């Protein structure tokens, strides 16, 4: 599996100046190539190479490998969206291992810049050291700058753990009010998350309405705090869920909420809360942590999981956070009932490993397992 390791660089004053100039020119080059690609409607990597390579090299004086990496990054960015011209705002230097970046020991990295190669020390924590030691392959990486500090996003491949034999399945319902509810009864509330996000929203609105230089400085200072808080929360929740599955020798079953923003209906006043819902990030964190531990992950369709009674299988009534069934008089927390339904569907389905999936279905596999779910019993 591939994971990204973020490592902080520790350059000296001279290297800081070189890295700043390199990133500045690289940002200019990315937007230059993006404009050429858009004007010519040329988004193919090879065609874009013939169209822009010599222009980049003569205009920005980059090395050949950096020129290739820049046009590749632009071409890949247009893969997901060809409806408008892409404008790059954050400075980034794409790097290829052995060609434009290499390690000199564990804590020194050599990076190609506008002033030849620069050997820069890395600041590594225990986690980074463990992951880099496990790496079987170093893939393309990036040099970025955040808050006047330089970082390397290093993409590495580590060996896949063999899938463990599991005795049971834990259903996990991902939501907004409760970020995750497990069929074991474990619940991870989102009350603190909503409180923090509302506070940041009110503060941003107040500062933006003032528009003074002091307010703008404050906005810049608090930039990214909410995102980092949400990422840390999802990391903590996903780690606890995977540890729970490990202790119980269980697989994990999750809803595939890929198109939920298009299909779900909600009131206008909840639009901001719904659009800030980081469900996909939590699912990705659970998936890669589970894959790293060899725990199977089963994806099921989300249809009717919140509306069906987990006791008798009939359509019940959901009133806010409570669920009740008029047929068998079953009553429970609505999210807990949904997690039981997710577990039930996953247990009754045929699990297909990634190695057995062929064609386009293999590309949709979320890392550990792919589940073909049948809801005909409902």
The share of the chain scoring above pLDDT 90, in percent, equals 37
Per DSSP, the three-state class of 167 is coil
Sheet of 250-255, strands arranged across: 187-189, 178-182, 168-174, 250-255, 297-300
- pLDDT score for 178: 86
Q: Is the pLDDT of residue 303 over 90?
A: no
Of 129, 139, 44, 144, nearest to 93 (Cα)?
144
The helix (run of H) or strand (run of E) holding residue 288 is helix 279-293
Q: Is the pLDDT of residue 240 over 90?
A: yes
Give the residue-averaged pLDDT of 42-63: 91
- CA angle 101–105–111, rounded 5-degree value: 20
Q: Is the pLDDT of residue 329 over 90?
A: no
- Residue 14 confidence class, pLDDT cut points 50, 70, 90: very high
Q: Is the pLDDT of residue 44 over 60?
A: yes
Q: Is the pLDDT of residue 164 over 80?
A: yes
Give the residue-averaged pLDDT of 107-119: 90
- pLDDT score for 357: 33
- Range of weakest confidence among 25-34, 81-90, 229-238, 365-374: 365-374
**Cα gap 341→254, rounded to integer Å:** 11
- Residue 123 confidence class, pLDDT cut points 50, 70, 90: very high
Q: Is the pLDDT of residue 252 over 90?
A: yes
Answer for the pair 77, 86: CB distance below 8 angstroms, yes or no.
yes
- pLDDT score for 175: 85
- pLDDT score for 67: 92
- Residue 211 confidence class, pLDDT cut points 50, 70, 90: confident
Taking the CA of residue 302 as centre, how many other CA atoms within 13 Å lie in the half-sphere pointing to its CB?
Answer: 16
Per DSSP, the three-state class of 127 is helix
- pLDDT score for 354: 36
Give the residue-averaged pLDDT of 295-317: 86
Q: Is the pLDDT of residue 376 over 60?
A: no
* Sign of CA pseudo-dihedral 125, 131, 137, 138: negative
Q: Is the pLDDT of residue 373 over 90?
A: no
Pairing of the two strands 297-300 and 317-319: unpaired
- Residue 159 confidence class, pLDDT cut points 50, 70, 90: confident
Average pLDDT, the chain: 84
Give the residue-averaged pLDDT of 232-245: 93
- Residue 365 confidence class, pLDDT cut points 50, 70, 90: very low
- Residue 245 confidence class, pLDDT cut points 50, 70, 90: very high
Give the residue-averaged pLDDT of 201-209: 89
The helix (run of H) or strand (run of E) holding residue 4 is strand 2-10
Answer for the pair 191, 178: CB distance below 8 angstroms, yes or no.
no
Give the residue-averaged pLDDT of 59-69: 90
Q: Is the pLDDT of residue 361 over 70?
A: no
Q: Radius of gyration over alpha carbons of the chain, in Å? A: 24
Domains recognised in the chain with CATH numbers: 2-157 (no CATH), 168-189+231-371 (3.30.420)
- CA dihedral (317, 322, 326, 328) in degrees, to 10, reads 130
- pLDDT score for 251: 92
| More confident: 161 or 339 | 339
- pLDDT score for 182: 92
């Amino acid at each position: 599996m591939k994971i990204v390791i973020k490592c902080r660089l520790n350059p000296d004053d001279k290297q800081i100046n070189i890295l700043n100039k390199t990133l500045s020119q690289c940002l200019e080059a990315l937007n230059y190539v993006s404009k050429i690609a858009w004007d010519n409607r040329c988004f193919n990597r090879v065609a874009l190479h013939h169209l822009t390579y010599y222009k980049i090299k003569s205009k920005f004086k980059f090395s050949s490998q950096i020129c290739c990496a820049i046009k590749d990054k632009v071409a890949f960015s247009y893969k997901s969206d060809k409806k408008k011209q892409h404008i790059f705002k954050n400075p980034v230097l794409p790097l290829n291992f052995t060609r434009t970046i290499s390690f000199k020991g564990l804590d020194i990295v050599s990076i190609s810049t506008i002033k030849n190669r620069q050997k820069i020390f890395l600041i590594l924590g225990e986690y980074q050291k463990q992951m880099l030691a496990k790496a079987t392959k170093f893939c393309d990486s990036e040099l970025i700058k955040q808050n006047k500090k330089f970082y390397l996003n290093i993409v590495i491949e580590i060996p896949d753990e063999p899938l463990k034999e599991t005795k049971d399945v834990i259903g996990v319902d991902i939501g907004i009010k409760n970020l995750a509810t497990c069929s074991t009864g474990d619940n991870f509330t989102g009350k603190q998350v909503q409180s923090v996000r509302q506070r940041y929203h009110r503060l941003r609105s107040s500062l933006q309405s003032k528009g003074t230089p002091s307010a703008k400085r404050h906005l810049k200072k608090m930039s990214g705090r909410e995102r980092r808080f949400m990422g840390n929360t999802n990391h903590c929740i996903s780690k606890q869920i995977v540890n729970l599955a490990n202790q119980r020798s269980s697989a994990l079953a999750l809803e595939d909420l890929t198109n939920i923003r298009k299909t779900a209906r909600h009131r206008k006043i909840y639009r901001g809360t719904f659009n800030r819902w980081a469900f996909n990030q939590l699912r990705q964190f659970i998936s890669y942590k589970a894959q790293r531990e060899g725990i199977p992950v089963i994806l099921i369709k989300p249809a009717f999981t919140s509306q069906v009674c987990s006791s008798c299988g009939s359509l019940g009534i959901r009133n806010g956070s409570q669920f009740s069934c008029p047929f068998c008089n079953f009553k429970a927390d609505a999210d807990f009932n949904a997690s039981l339904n997710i577990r039930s569907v996953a247990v009754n389905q045929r699990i297909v490993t990634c190695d057995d999936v062929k064609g386009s279905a293999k590309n949709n596999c979320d890392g550990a397992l792919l589940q073909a779910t049948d809801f005909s019993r409902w």
